[in-house]
Amino acid sequence: MRRIFPDGQDLDEDQLRAAYEPDRPSVRLNFVTSLDGAVEEDGYSRGLSGDADRKVFHLLRDHADAVMVGAGTLRHEGYHAVRPTEAGRAWRRTRGLAEYPVLVVVSASLDLDPAADTFAGAPVRPVVLTHAGAPADRRDALAAVADVLTCGSSVVDLAVGLAELRGRGLDHVLCEGGPTLFGALLASRLVDELCLTISPLLTGPGAGRIVAGTKLSEAQGMRLVHVLEEDGALLTRYARA
């Protein structure tokens, strides 16, 4: 993979990992989009992902203390338990990180299957962020396989949720979406970084953007950290300005 900004340099694996060294604590978003702004192809984000994007996807997970995802995205994209590769786990150990990042699911309704591999097959106990009004029966069912945390009275308060995670030592949170969760984090001014892959595809009209939900009161500035390129895909990293 080649870094084309801020310098022109071919990166080996160690240099690529160093290029994504996170600040702690921080919240990082990771998305892929088409050249014409689509967040999906044939209904799924993986339709836009190529080898370079998948490489960075796993590398970002290797850096993370926790991997956050909205319940709708978890169901739609068919998430499995978060398990880094053996090499990724070994690298994490050298950095003093736990072998496995913690999966964090944000869900207002708790419409989640406790028997799914995401929970039942998880190598470390997942965390679910919800609110006080979530159904008690679903809360009790999920409590057998996950730590269910109440964050807010009628909606999930993400600032409270992130404080709870940091109280558990989960300082660097990688959020993989979806667009509504991205929008909620933006509205609460909780986004520190965006890693955005621009796939060399044109998909046409119909698909949504990488962000949805509440309109922002004002635009939030981001600073370009780097641009990488491989096989026509551009892999960008932006940080809060």
Write the CA distances from 59 to 7, 17, 171, integer angstroms: 21, 7, 17
**Are the C-beta atoms of residues 197 and 235 closer than 8 Å to each other?**
yes
Report the run of H or E that residue 167 belongs to, with start and end: helix 158-167
**pLDDT for the residue numbered 79:** 94
Write the CA distances from 139 to 109, 117, 124, 128, integer angstroms: 9, 18, 19, 9
Rounded CA gap, 142 and 128, in Å? Answer: 8
Pair of tokens at residue 99: 């072998």
Domain ranges of the chain: 22-215
pLDDT in tens, the chain (241 residues): 999 999 999 999 999 999 999 999 999 999 999 999 998 887 788 888 899 999 999 999 999 999 999 999 999 999 999 999 999 999 999 999 999 999 999 999 999 999 999 999 999 999 999 999 999 999 999 999 999 999 999 999 999 999 999 999 999 999 999 999 999 999 999 999 999 999 999 999 888 899 999 888 899 999 999 999 999 999 999 999 9
pLDDT digits (tens, 9 = 90+) for 44-88: 888 888 999 999 999 999 999 999 999 999 999 999 999 999 999
- The whole-model pTM stands at 0.95
**pLDDT for the residue numbered 44:** 80
Residues near 1 by Cβ (< 8 Å), separated by ≥ 6?
Answer: 10, 11, 16, 52, 55, 228, 229, 230, 235
Q: Which of the listed CATH numbers 3.40.50.1370, 3.40.430.10, 3.30.1330.80, 3.50.50.60 matches domain 22-215?
A: 3.40.430.10
For every residue of 10-74, DSSP letters joined together read E--HHHHHHHTPPPSSEEEEEEEEETT--S-BTTBGGGG--HHHHHHHHHHHHH-SEEEEEHHHH
Pair of tokens at residue 232: 């026509």
Using alpha carbons only, what angle is made at residue 187 by residues 39 and 56, rounded to the nearest 5 degrees?
40
pLDDT digits (tens, 9 = 90+) for 101-115: 999 999 999 999 999
